[in-house]
Structure 1
Amino acid sequence: MAKAGIVYVGTDDGLATYSDPGATGHWRRVGHTLMGRRVLGIIAADGDEGALAVIVGLANGEALSSADGGQSWGAAPKAEAEALRDLRESTRPLIATAQGMAQWTGAHPPAPGADALAMLAGKQETLLAAIADGTTLLRSEDGGGSWQPPTFSVPLQGAITVLAPSSYHMDICWAGTNTGQLLRSDDRGCTWVEVACEPAAIRALSVLRLA
C-alpha cells in the first residue's frame, strides 16, 4: 500500500494539515489546530519512529509540541524550542532543505536579499529563490551563476514567504504565500501547481511521508 504524504502548514491562523492518502496526488485539508495563533516555524518527524511528532514555534516566542499529529499540545522540549528560536533570531540567511530549515554558512548567499531560499539535493543541486519581496521565483542549476523563471499553472498570488523541499523525494518542493496560496512542484521547481488556498498567510511548511 502506498504511503500517505503529510504537509503541515503554519499560518497566521494556526496549523493546517494536508494529507494525500494512498499517494494519489489528491491532497485534502484534514486538520486545523492552534486557531488564532501565528505559526512561524515547524519541526516534524517522519519515518518509523515518531511519524506524527510535530513542534511549532509561535509568533509570541512560545514553542509547542504534539506527539499525535496536532490533536493535543504541550510545551516543547528545550532543545527543539531553542532550535526554533535560533532560526527565528538568526542574522544569517535561512535556506530550506529536505532536512528542514538551516542557516546559510557560506561567505556569499546565492541570492542576496532573497525572501525565501531552498536547495534541492541530487546529482545536480537546484537552488530556488523568491526575490523582489517574494513576488518573483527563480531557479538555478549552477549554484546561483544563472537563474531562470519557472512556470505556474495559475498566477502567483501575493508573495512567496516559504519554500520547503520534500523530505521523501528530491524532485518535490512546496511553497506558500502571504495570501495563503499553497503550491507544489514535482520537477525540481520547473513548474508549479496550486494545491489549495488557505484563508490566512502561510509562514512555515513541513513535508513528510508516513511510514
Structure 2
Amino acid sequence: MKPLSATPRTSLGRYPERSTPDRAALYDILDAGLICHLGIVVNGTPRVIPTCYGRLDDTLYVHGSTGASSMMTAPSQEVCVTVTHLDGLVLARSLFHHSINYRSAMVYGVPSPVTGDDEKRAALRVITEQLAPGQWDAARQPTRKELAGVAVLALPLDEASVKVRQGPPGDDDEDYALPVWAGVLPVRQAFGAPVPDPALTPGIPVPAHIAAR
C-alpha cells in the first residue's frame, strides 16, 4: 500500500505531528463516514456541498442530480472533498487551549464523470452500501430512466491528507494548578431504533441488515 502523497497543500505546516502518511488511516476515516463535503467553484463562487459518498479501493464516488450545476462543472476543475469525525470536546483550564478531538481527511483532484449504465450502477452500489450495508440487494434496482437522472463523479485518492487530534488538553505549565476542571467530553454518533414508513405494508419486518445498525 503506497503512502499518501506529500504535496505543498497536503503537508501540514502547523501541528505536523497530527498528520500521517498511512493510506490505511485515510481508508478508515472515509469508510467510517456517511457524509462528505464537496468544495467546488461554480460561476466564480465557491460552494461547499454536503453529499453522500462511497469508496472503492482508491476511488471516491459522489453523486447528485444531472441538473445540478456542481455535477456539471466539477469535471472541468479541481475540487476538494473533506470528511470529518468529531470524537470529543477538549476542555482545558484556559480558553486558549480548548480544542476538539477529531479525525479528518482531505482529498484533492479533478473528478471524472461515471458513464455507462453498468459503471454507474456499480458506483451507486458503493455509495448505497456506504450508508446502509446490504440495502442495495434489498431494494428495487434503479431503472435506466432513473440512472439517466443521476450524475456520479469518480475522484481518485492520489492526493490526500489525514489529520487526527486525540488525547487530553495541553495547558501551559502555570495553569495546571488552577481550580478548573479539564478533560475530554466524548462525542459519539449512534443509530436509533428504525422508524417504519407509515405507508409500509403490514407484516414486513425490519430487515436484519437495518436492525444491526
**Shorter-normalised TM range:** under 0.3
Q: Which has the higher strand share?
A: 1
TM-score (ref. length: structure 1): 0.21
Question: Who wins on radius of gyration, i.e. which is larger?
Answer: 2
Larger helix percent: 2
